[in-house]
Structure 1
């Protein structure tokens, strides 16, 4: 059984049903039932036309569902005929699914879950495991999301930026359960890049590839975090980096800069340095300036303060940091790092401990706690 093939066909099959007039929620259920049927039947009787087989079975499942529904009479025109699968306008249909799943009426978590289910072809159980929630909870979340977007009309182009933000959220979830969400996000973004010619789609794909290339070096054998400056760069995947850089260069050449291209450029500069000491921090600051111009994000300004501290010294970084709200996530961690580099160890130790208490996850909390302990040990010498 080729699970990758099934998952790659999922959005096309769902899009065909929706284009034929099926409501999104019922169509998505029908496609899932067809996938289950494929898992049962294909190993002993593989079809010559997998997509056509899935479309036929999913359409029949959809017809069965609406015939059993109390609203059958309102849909008689739809169920009179059972069309044979035909040529698919893959570009328009697939894009509509992406836009539908990233609809602004959905919360970010619901948009991500629906994208993984409808476009990614993951089961509810797999998505629930990835998010470490009960399967019933995830089923309710997906059902609500499907109901929300079922009546959405797409008479205007969708917002590519919203789709990309949803995919980036998927990527940042990383790995848990039996689903590698970072790899899944890359697969979905590759799919999107194949059906839409947009430099920001290329920028996001490049960013994901370059970040993913460093994955093996991000944690120590005991599971603890390894900061970028301390990572073993020999473990970085140079093939992924080269692919990401090539995609980024093609996007930048179109002279339509967006935030994901700028983020990818920063990641590429980190990846280009053979050692942490060789990092081109002045150029990274310039790219952060572009990001600030594009987004005016406080988080971007926080990251820029780190870059300024590396390029122009910790005092310059602290001056930039002083302009930002101290309630920003990771503000204390950045302040601790810059104060340590500036030689103020007592303040650094206190801020590392404060940052650890505010850390959003266990791995980051453990890392910051160890940093505080390390600086305190230095003070006691």
Structure 2
């Protein structure tokens, strides 16, 4: 039997259930889970903020695992055979049809209506299709990526879902060398966006957040300045950003906060003729009031949304981590983001810690606190 953490329905504690060891379809793969992450999306799932989720579910949409069994000839994205013993990750999105208008004409596969997502759109009744489990069943259409030699699985899961999402946001931002960039939100997506902005040539990167411990983490990882949002003086961070940018505002602002008031504040922190990229609003948290004349047209402001990530972002994530994983700022690596490692029995605690901003990144280790992987102490 295989143990997995199951979210029965919104606002109900996650519980541990047992599942039968699966029989593999042709070209399917079974992983022993090494790490899975706790993402902000999992907090949204806990509160029922995503539409169409088929509870009960096994959460965990980005994971790293060791190949335990392969049925048939399965190849990774680079065309290499997937063999037992290999350390791999996989794109959580699968089932993209590659025949609809969004796939073929718009070239926007993240909007394909047929796509499915591990840990989110699969019911636990369908099997081990989420990472908060001792085993993960990879269906035949799942895109598998073998970890490059020397890349620690901890580094990959520390980046998690946030890095490919941030890669998409940076792609949308089109940062130029020397740009001043503001990132709203010092959670995983925000910090990854700040790191990538620096790697893209930004001259200065500022990050704003209400939680000082998260700002301190961002400062350690190399941002130019971390500015706290003060509830007693709501406009202080906006004034601070404008002062640090010669009263003009940022060339590019990236919203990774996920709260409605951030939208209007982000516009205020962006210079005339600048670009505003919205990536944090994965769920509907409410509306924000803007004036189309003063906030957009008169500012000559460009606003771009960002929805999810695709295989290209996931693939490039591994390349970024291989090149820069141990030195994202001040000689520190992505591993610095890991604030806690939790067992399957501690997933409710992990969700609480993420929801309350006690750490940047929480990871689940379903097969014990000390998995037998190279590089793990």
TM range (shorter): under 0.3
**Structure ranking higher in strand proportion:** 2
TM-score under structure 2 length normalisation: 0.27
Q: Highest CA radius of gyration, 1 or 2? A: 1
TM-score under structure 1 length normalisation: 0.27
